[in-house]
């Protein structure tokens, strides 16, 4: 069983031996050399899974599923048998699963219940160069658990492999006690990088890159010899818009490239983004029919996580959607930002897999020099640390400041996370996890949502919160069609759904959708009528079941809190939400604006997607689920609350000195 002819094949024996001989190994190689798909298989075939499974982590859900699918196919087995995958809320593994692909977040959660990872004989941390938050924490934990002496014992029989594109290898090796690095020689062809000069520094913050990318892709199609095109855009909306434009060569395109009527004939347009169904994703790997050129319009996922063969032309928008902590609001926000120079090189490299290629960057040289940083900042240095700090605390890592981070986060970010954990009562004043903290960490949800859920469960009202938590954990359920006429129609139906629950609480609207859809004879027809994504609601059903299981187990514990409260259904719902979301509370400060009360005092607006938009003057206090930032800060998924409900909680937002929490952490 030699598998496909990929560059990694020639290093097979060397790799297996290296893993056998050493506890830690770093493997580097060009994207697409076969690391993710082949190495776990080699190790399995060499008998390294005899005493436990081979666990392979990936930062992205889509890649996790796609790679597992591919390997199952190559090994001629059903997915979920010998080869399986596990992502949040979707477990496709069994007792027999010897090669287990999972997201890094999933492995992190498994450590909570099994700190020595006794199920595994090999752990492979893949895509290490992406430096996702969970992978970074896993680096530190594995180092701590397996390299340093620990009173709880350590695994000596365990093998850890870190796989990465060729970035920061020395730093990684040093971090893991100067462990060996094995490089897989790859083949790649020269790529000519072209500045199209269509975006200047002034275009940061505008969405002009979508139409520009479409123009360049059409231009390539008309003027360049055969070879597939890969267009890098930022997210689902932008990608769908670009695909629409490509399909109809829409009027909005100015024809400076002399696009004639028959222009897009012979072009197969395929979108690729995270929330697409796996069947749809599979199509991108199939070669286009003879004489047809494939054009894949993708998020950053095609930069390193998935390799599409046959690409000779890359069109790079120069932007990426990235989760960043926004100090103005004190929350994480998905933003469109310029990519780094190293990211741009990685994207360009995708054009040189099978022959010499060309990469068309939409940006100007000025943009490259002024707006694009050298390297992408690791996630641990730019997003909220609340969840991972709670995880560490639950793993008895009390000193979260001196934890072995590959790149230590700024101390004030750690302090901010400690403060938030204290505010929701997950840790005490000495920085120790409380019983509530131990309950919270059981849920694969943000702490504030888990908090609201536990409050509801303590009142025996979890039926109100479970569907909401599930609906907030899946992709957006509301369909917003591009066509203005249809958009009107969809909006009316969405308003109808909101008005059924009094029209003044976005959380209750989500609950209403969940319950109505569940009760209807034909849920898919119901969704169609109301312009709701059936696929999203269907996954919410499954998420709800899983969250319910966790809740039921917790409720059986003798020390699980029990409370009583008299009130209407909507009042109970809103009060439970307050218990978790009081950190996100805001008070109306002018006709349409609100001021947050968390110490940041940011001025926020209600997002147009909320049913409370245009009703601001009727409101005084609100809580919200998240924010979107453009030129203004918008809050989304909003619920009005009464001052009496938050009054007693508000002091928690201020009566804490973060240093007090961390001084114990330093002990």
Task: Give me the residues that bind ligand ADP (CB under 6 A), please.
Answer: 6, 29, 31-38, 66-67, 69-70, 285, 307, 309
User: Which CB, 165 or 395, lies closer to ligand ADP?
Assistant: 165
Q: How far is the CB of 350 from ligand ADP (least distance, A)?
A: 11
Question: What is the DSSP code (8-state) at residue 257?
Answer: G
Minimum CB separation of residue 87 from ligand ADP in Å reads: 15
Min CB(236)–ligand ADP separation in Å: 20
Closer residue to ligand ADP, CB minimum distance, 38 or 364 = 38
Answer for the pair 393, 437: CB distance below 8 angstroms, yes or no: yes
Q: Please, which residues have CB within 8 angstroms of residue 213's CB and are 6 or more apart in sequence? A: 231, 232, 233, 242, 315, 317, 362
Separation CA 15–CA 224 (nearest Å): 40
At closest approach, how far in Å is the CB of 125 from ligand ADP?
12
Please state the three-class secondary structure of 308-377 as a single string. CCCEEEEEECCEEEEEEEECCCCEEEEEEEECCHHHHHHHHHHHHCCCCEEEEEEECHHHHHHHCCCCCC
Closer of 352 and 580 to ligand ADP (Cβ): 352
- HSE at residue 546, side-chain half, CA atoms within 13 A, is 18
Q: Which of 285, 290, 289, 341 is nearest to 311 (CA)?
A: 285
- For residue 353, the minimal CB distance to ligand ADP (Å) is 8
Q: Which is nearer to ligand ADP, 307 or 458 (CB)?
A: 307
Residue 132 beta carbon to ligand ADP: minimum distance, rounded to whole angstroms: 15
Q: In what order do the strands lie in the sheet with 180-184?
A: 90-92, 83-87, 99-103, 53-58, 120-125, 159-164, 24-29, 180-184
96 vs 309, beta carbon nearer ligand ADP: 309
Q: Shortest CA distance to 623 belongs to which of 544, 523, 506?
A: 506
Complex with ligand ADP: residue 165 or 469, whichever CB lies closer: 165
Q: How far is the CB of 456 from ligand ADP (least distance, A)?
A: 40
d(CA 470, CA 305): 27
From residue 389, alpha-carbon distances to 89, 110, 330, 447, 561 in Å are 22, 16, 16, 11, 24
Beta bridge partners of 319: 338
Q: Which is nearer to ligand ADP, 83 or 579 (CB)?
A: 83
Residue labelled with tokens 């700090």: 389
Nearer to ligand ADP, 31 or 383 (CB): 31
| Rounded (10°) CA dihedral 506, 508, 513, 519 | 180
- The smaller minimum CB distance to ligand ADP, of residues 31 and 450, is found at 31
Distance CA 402, CA 233 (A): 38
Residue 31 C-beta: closest distance to ligand ADP, Å: 4
Extract the tokens encoding 227. Answer: 């070879």
In angstroms, give the least distance from the CB of 285 to ligand ADP: 4
Q: Which is nearer to ligand ADP, 216 or 272 (CB)?
A: 272
Question: Smallest gap, in angstroms, from Cβ of residue 644 to ligand ADP?
Answer: 55
* The two three-digit tokens of residue 239, written as one number: 């990608």
């Amino acid at each position: 069983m030699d598998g496909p002819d990929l560059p990694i094949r020639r290093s097979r024996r060397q790799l297996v031996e290296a893993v056998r001989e050493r506890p830690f190994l770093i493997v580097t190689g060009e994207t697409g050399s076969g690391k993710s798909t082949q190495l776990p298989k080699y190790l399995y075939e060499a008998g390294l899974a005899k005493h436990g499974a081979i666990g392979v982590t990936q930062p992205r859900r889509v890649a996790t599923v796609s790679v597992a699918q591919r390997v199952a196919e190559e090994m001629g087995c059903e997915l979920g048998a010998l080869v399986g995958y596990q992502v949040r809320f979707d477990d496709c593994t069994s007792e027999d699963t010897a090669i287990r692909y999972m997201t890094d977040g999933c492995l992190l959660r498994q450590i909570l219940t099994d700190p020595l990872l006794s199920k595994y004989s090999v752990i492979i941390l893949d895509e290490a160069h992406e430096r996702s938050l969970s992978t970074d924490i896993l680096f530190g934990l594995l180092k701590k658990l397996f390299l340093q002496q620990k009173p709880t014992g350590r695994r000596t029989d365990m093998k850890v492999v870190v796989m990465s594109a060729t970035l920061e290898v020395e730093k990684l090796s040093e971090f893991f006690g100067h462990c060996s690095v094995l490089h897989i020689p790859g083949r790649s062809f020269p790529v000519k990088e072209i500045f199209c000069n269509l975006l200047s520094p002034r275009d940061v913050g505008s969405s002009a890159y979508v139409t520009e990318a479409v123009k360049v892709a059409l231009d390539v199609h008309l003027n360049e010899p055969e070879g597939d095109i890969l267009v890098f855009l930022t997210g689902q909306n932008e990608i769908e818009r670009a695909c629409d434009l490509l399909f109809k060569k829409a009027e909005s395109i100015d024809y400076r490239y002399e696009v004639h009527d028959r222009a897009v004939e012979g072009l197969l347009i395929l979108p690729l983004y995270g929330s697409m169904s796996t069947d749809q994703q599979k199509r991108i790997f199939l070669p286009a029919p003879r004489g047809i050129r494939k054009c894949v319009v993708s998020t950053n996922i095609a930069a390193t996580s998935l390799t599409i063969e046959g690409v000779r032309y890359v069109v790079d928008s120069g932007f990426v959607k990235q989760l960043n902590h926004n100090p103005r609001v004190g929350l994480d926000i998905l933003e469109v930002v310029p990519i780094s120079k190293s990211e741009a090189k990685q994207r360009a490299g995708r054009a040189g897999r099978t022959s010499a290629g060309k990469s068309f960057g939409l940006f100007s040289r000025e943009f490259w020099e002024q707006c694009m940083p050298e390297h992408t900042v690791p996630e641990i240095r730019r997003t909220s640390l609340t969840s991972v700090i709670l995880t560490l605390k639950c793993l008895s890592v009390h000193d979260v400041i001196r934890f072995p981070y590959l790149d230590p986060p700024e101390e004030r970010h750690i302090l901010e996370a400690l403060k938030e954990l204290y505010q929701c009562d997950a840790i005490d004043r000495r920085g120790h996890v409380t019983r509530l903290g131990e309950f919270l960490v059981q849920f694969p949800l943000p702490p504030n949502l888990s908090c609201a859920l536990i409050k509801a469960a303590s009142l025996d009202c979890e039926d109100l919160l479970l569907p909401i938590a599930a609906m907030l954990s899946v992709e957006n359920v509301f369909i917003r069609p591009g066509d203005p006429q249809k958009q009107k129609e969809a909006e009316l139906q969405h308003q109808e759904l909101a008005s059924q629950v009094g029209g003044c609480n976005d959380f209750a609207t989500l609950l209403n959708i969940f319950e109505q859809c569940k009760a209807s004879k034909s849920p898919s027809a119901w969704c169609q009528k109301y312009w709701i994504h059936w696929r999203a609601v269907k996954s919410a059903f499954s998420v709800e079941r899983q969250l319910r299981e966790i809740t039921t187990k917790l409720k059986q514990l003798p020390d699980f809190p029990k409370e009583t409260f008299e009130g209407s259904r909507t009042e109970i719902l809103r009060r439970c939400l307050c218990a978790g979301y009081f950190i996100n509370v805001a008070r109306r400060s002018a006709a349409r604006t609100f001021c947050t009360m968390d110490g940041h005092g940011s001025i926020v607006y209600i997002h147009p997607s909320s049913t409370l938009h245009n009703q601001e003057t009727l409101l005084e206090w609100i809580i919200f689920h998240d924010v979107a930032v453009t030129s203004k800060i918008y809050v989304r998924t909003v619920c009005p609350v009464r001052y009496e409900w938050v009054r007693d909680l508000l002091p928690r937002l201020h009566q804490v000195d973060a240093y007090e929490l961390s001084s114990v952490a330093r002990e």
